[in-house]
Chains A and B, each alone.
Chain A
Amino acid sequence: MNAEQSVRVEDKLYYNRYLVDVGRPHVKVRRHTTPSPQLLALLRACPARCYELNDKGQVEVAVDGCIECGTCRVIAEPTGDIEWNYPRGGYGVLFKFG
C-alpha cells in the first residue's frame, strides 16, 4: 500500500561509518513470549530498523546499524522491555557530517 515499503533502510545505513563493538550490544531486549505494544512500536519507529520480528513472533534487536538516537529508549525503557546504554566510548556510529 505505502510507497515507503520499498525504502530500504539498509541502503541508507550503508552510507554511514560504524565501529561495531563485537559481542557487546548496547541495547538488549528483555526475554518475552508475546511482545508488548511498546516493543511492537519499535519495529516501525526505529530509524535504522534495528528491531525485527523473529519467526516465533518475538521482537529482536541487532544494533550494528544503530544511530544512537534514543527513540527506542524513550518508548520502551520505562516498561522494562529493553535495556539501553550508550556504546563504549569510541564505538558505534561515527558521523562525518552529523
Chain B
Amino acid sequence: MIKPSLITAASLSLAAFSAHAEFEVDVAGSASIEGRYFLQDPTYPQQPRTQSSVAIEPEFYTEWNNGQDSLLVKPFARFDAQDSKRSHSDLREFQWLHVDDNWETRIGVGKVFWGQTESLHLVDIVNQTDSVDQVDGEEKLGQPMVNFTTYGDWGTLSAFVLPYFRERTFSGEDGRLRPPVPIDGDGAIYESDAEQHHVDYALRYQNSFGDWEVGLSYFDGTTREPELTVVQTDNGMMESVVPYYAQIRQMGVDLLKVQGSWLLKFEGIYRTGQSEDFGAMVAGFERTSVGVFGTSQDLGFLMEYQFDERDDNFFATGQNDLMAGVRWSLNDIDGTEMLAGYVQDLEHSGTYNGFVEASSRMTDNWRWKVDAYFFSSDEVNEDTFWFMRRDDHVQVTLEYFF
C-alpha cells in the first residue's frame, strides 16, 4: 500500500505534471483560526472567559487501477491556547477503498454517517464524538474499521468489524462546557477486559423506496456514549469523574419520507447492556420554501420531538424535548447560510438550549463562520445544562481551504 508522506506527496504532485506520471497525489484541506467568547463569568475556578485555537486538516488522496482503488489520508490537529485537553490531534481518515461492480471494501480509519434527523443522531453509532472539538456533536473521531458493502436493486448492505475503540474527548480543567469536576477521559473504565481492544461489529441495511428512505442497523460492542462514574478514595472523598463504557447491543431504525416540500424524519433505537435497557426516538419534519420574499432565497422550518426513556444520563439531554429551527439559505455567490434552533425541555420550562450557526464565503478560499450556543436549566445540580448554564458563547472561525 502506498503511504504518501508530505515529501512524496509534493514530489508526486510535481511528477503529475509530466505526461508519464502513473499516479498523482491530490493535496487539499483546510486550516482555521477560531475564537470563543463566553458571555458570562465562569462557574468553576480555572475556567477562561475567552478561548482561542488554530486547527489544520490536510487531505491526501491518490487512486490507481482506474480509480477502483484509492487511498485517502486525512490527519487533523487543533492547538487550543487555554484548554490543554482541547489541544488534540486525530487521524480522521486513513482509508483504502476498493470498488468493484456490486461491492466495495473500506479498510483503515474511516468515518460513516447513519441517520436522517437533524437535532439528534441516535442511530449514528460507528464513530465516536469529538465533543471537545465542536459543541454541536457533529465532529467525529476516526474509527479503525474493516468494512464490506454490497449493493443492488434490493438495497445496500454494509458490515463492519471495528477492532479498536476510540474514547470520547472531554474539556479539561482549563476548559468550559464541563461539569464541576472535569471528566477524566484517560481514567475510563470498561466492562470488557479487552478495554479499547474489544472487537465491535455493526451491520446496516439502507434503501430507497420511491419517496421513502429506509435504514436498519444493528451494533454489538462498546457503547460510544458513556455513563459517568465517580471514583472515590478510601475515605469516601470524590477523586474523579470517569466515563464507564459498557458492552451494548443497539438496534436502530431511520426513516425519511418525501411529502411534497416536506421531509418527514424518524430515528429510533433500542439499546441493552447499560445500567438500564431503554428506547429513544426523535421524529419531526423539515419544510422548505424556495424563492421566499420574491427573492431566490430558501427558508426551511424544522421541528423535531426527542424522547429518551433514561432520565439520568449526562449525555442524553433529549428526554422529552422539542426542537424548533430555521434554515435560511441566501443562494448568493458567497453561499451564505444560517441555521438557528431552540430546544425546549417539555418537563422543565426553565431548561432549554439554543444555537445559531451562520457562515459565508469571503473569497473562493476563505470562509467565515459565526456559531453561538446558549444553555439554561432550573434543575439544580441535576441537569447537564445546569452545569453549563453560564457557558453561553459565541464562536468566530475563519477557515482557509486549499
Q: Do A and B bind each other?
A: no
**Contact residues of A with B, CB < 8 Å?**
none
